[in-house]
Amino acid sequence: MIWVRGEIVPDEGLAISVLDRTFEHGLGLFETLRTWDGRATLLERHLARLRGWAEALGLPMAPEELPDHAAVEALRAAEGITGDCSLRIVLSGGFDDGRAGTIWMRTRALPAPVPEGGLAVCARWSVVGDDRLLQAKTLNYWSRRIAFEEGKRLGFDENLSRDESGAILEGSRSNVFLVEQGQLVTPQVHRGGGLAAPFLPGIMRGVVMERASSLGLPTREDASVSIARLVEADECFLTNAGRGIMPVGRFDPEGMPESAQARRYEAPGPVTQRLMNDLNAWLRSEDAR
């Protein structure tokens, strides 16, 4: 079932014109999130990002057609979902004459839990520094999909990106944190001259940084997160909206079985576990509503 314009329709009931720019050039945006104890806790943050990038990229949209919490509840009820689920909200590209794109929402099952011992991560995805589209969740998702599938083919759960300088930026569908002597470090969004790095600072990344601050954990963004630093870090974890904090158990930058640069971490380490406990409780609390 799909929610669109305040109605619940069957999957095949969603009609989009072939003149919509989604079909011509893959234009459009999407947001993926989940419910926590039945509530889409971070819905407003995801909608704010969708609106912001639609404006920045010149995609016409009708904000009044965005879903709200009542829409989420209606869709879950129509699907007969009693537990938690993932949600995907899509904005199509709209029309050349300025007519707004179509907004719809669907559900899907939650992603699989993090395996015992943590994720296995490589870093074989190369990006260029001026790729602005890597900063947004666009429907033109091929570079991320190819990177993810390359990692899976090599036996890894995630593939991290590197820019021309060798700096680590993000995963194909996650953000990166490392723990160095009790301090959280994550790649820096803004660089010199007001330029933004070619990666997507996720909603969950921002929430984790807020929760770390509330716990008194020092956190900083750093433009020089390198492979060497990941190898030497005390702990490492990834974040995304569907799975929250995901401890990393093995990092092998070249994607080779147990290469000389491979590093194994305690997963989760003590700092990661502390953050996981706090985050999971907060996402289900009244304070987050």
Q: What is the pLDDT of residues 95-113, one digit of tens each?
A: 999 999 999 999 999 999 9
Return the higher-pLDDT residue of 96 and 255.
Answer: 96
Q: Is the pLDDT of residue 90 over 80?
A: yes
Residue with tokens 């900063």: 135
pLDDT tens readout for residues 183-214 = 999 999 987 666 788 999 999 999 999 999 99
Q: Is the pLDDT of residue 134 over 70?
A: yes
Q: Is the pLDDT of residue 50 over 80?
A: yes
Q: Is the pLDDT of residue 257 over 70?
A: no
From residue 265, alpha-carbon distances to 207, 208, 250 in Å are 23, 20, 6
Q: What is the 3-state secondary structure (H, E, C) of the chain?
A: CEEECCEEECHHHCCCCCCCHHHHHCCEEEEEEECECCECCCHHHHHHHHHHHHHHHCCCCCHHHCCCHHHHHHHHHHHCCCCCCEEEEEEECCCCCCCCCCEEEEEECCCCCCCCCCEEEEEEEECCCCCHHHHCCECCCHHHHHHHHHHHHCCCCEEEEECCCCCEEEECCEEEEEEECCEEEEECCECHHHCECCCCCCHHHHHHHHHHHHCCCCEEEECCCCHHHHHHCCEEEEEECCCEEEEEEEECCCCCCCCCCCEECCCCCHHHHHHHHHHHHHHCCHHHC
Q: Which residues contact 198 (CB under 8 A, 6 or more apart)?
A: 127, 128, 129, 130, 131, 132, 134, 135, 161, 163, 169
pLDDT tens readout for residues 139-166 = 999 999 999 999 999 999 999 999 998 9
Quote the pLDDT of residue 258: 67
Structure tokens at 17: 């014109």
Q: Report the percentage of the chain scoring pLDDT > 90.
A: 87
Q: Is the pLDDT of residue 288 over 90?
A: no
HSE, CB side, 13 Å, CA atoms: give it for residue 13: 12
Q: Is the pLDDT of residue 133 over 70?
A: yes
Rounded average pLDDT over 107-123 = 95
Name all domains of the chain by residue range, CATH numbers in brackets.
Answer: 2-108 (3.30.470.10), 119-286 (3.20.10.10)
Q: Is the pLDDT of residue 260 over 70?
A: no
Chain-wide mean pLDDT for the chain?
94
Of 48-52, 87-91, 260-264, which gets the smallest average pLDDT? 260-264
Quote the pLDDT of residue 192: 67
